[in-house]
Amino acid sequence: MSNQTIKGPDGFDIAVIAEGERPDDGRKGPGVIWLSGLLSDMIATKAAAIAAHGAEKGFPVLRFDYRGHGASGGDFKDASISELLSDALAVFDRFAKGAQILIGSSMGGWIALLLALALKERKKAGEDLSAHVAGIVLIAPAVDMTRRLMWDAFTTEIRAEIEEKGVYYRPSDYGDPYPITKKLIEDGEKHLLLGDIIPLSCPVHIIHGREDPDVPWELSQELTAWLSEADVDMTFIRDGDHRLSRPEDIAVLLAAVDRMRARASGGACG
């Protein structure tokens, strides 16, 4: 295991855990990159389970904390989706080699799709990349969350508070209230995906709990329609919540990762 800290695009310290190495001939197949959810971190239950699974199976796992999350520097109140995406790109560029499977949980699912799209555009522009996305696993993906799960769901009073004060502290069942800022909401509008074809053609596997109180499972169902160029598998867990961190949920996730690694041809998401 290699615990490192790199300077992010805006000078923040980005904490990274890089485990295992994939030889240049690719004998161990694709590596895995974990993208955490909102105000979660790289040592949470699912991320740790995937890292342990990688160590057991012999494939590399790359984890990191966005700015304002976990062991990284910065304050989430100052962050935007654009900036979290830039952190993910910086880590990908610094550490990833060859074929990679992105695993995104909740907000990390949205970041995973945006990351794959950004890399596709860079390749299209002629950039020589040392790594590429060969497949994506999404866990309760909070795609377009700043509009669908925040702004559109907020009352008039909450919207007014954001407009006037610049921030609303949203109560959370998982710890301290989440600071939802005007900057986060406005920047999120630049990255909306639902409502148009998402031009990714690599395999995608979505896992979602039917009892998720935070990200409705119907959002994943809608997402599959816009991923019409991709080969999409969907797994619904009948009694699953948002975290999907029970042993039986972890077993479903690890099986999906194994299938995706075996299924990914090694070609880049087109």
CA distances from 11 to 16, 57, 67 (A): 15, 35, 10
Crossing angle, helix 107-124 and helix 81-95, to 10 degrees? Answer: 60
Q: Return the DSSP state at 210.
A: T
Among the listed residues 151, 171, 246, 178, the one whose alpha carbon sits nearest the alpha carbon of residue 207: 246
- C-alpha 26/C-alpha 266 separation (Å) is 9
* Active-site residue, selected from the candidate residues 72, 105, 106, 220: 106
CB 104 within 8 A of CB 67: no
Q: Which residue has the tokens 């909740």?
A: 106
- C-alpha 248/C-alpha 97 separation (Å) is 31
Is 191 among the catalytic positions?
no
Among the listed residues 89, 77, 86, the one whose alpha carbon sits nearest the alpha carbon of residue 38: 77
* Active-site residue, selected from the candidate residues 105, 208, 242, 249: 242
Burial class (CB in 10 A: 0-12, 13-18, 19+), 109: buried
* Active-site residue, selected from the candidate residues 212, 214, 220, 249: 212
Is 212 among the catalytic positions?
yes
Is 132 among the catalytic positions?
no
Q: Which residues are catalytic?
A: 106, 212, 242
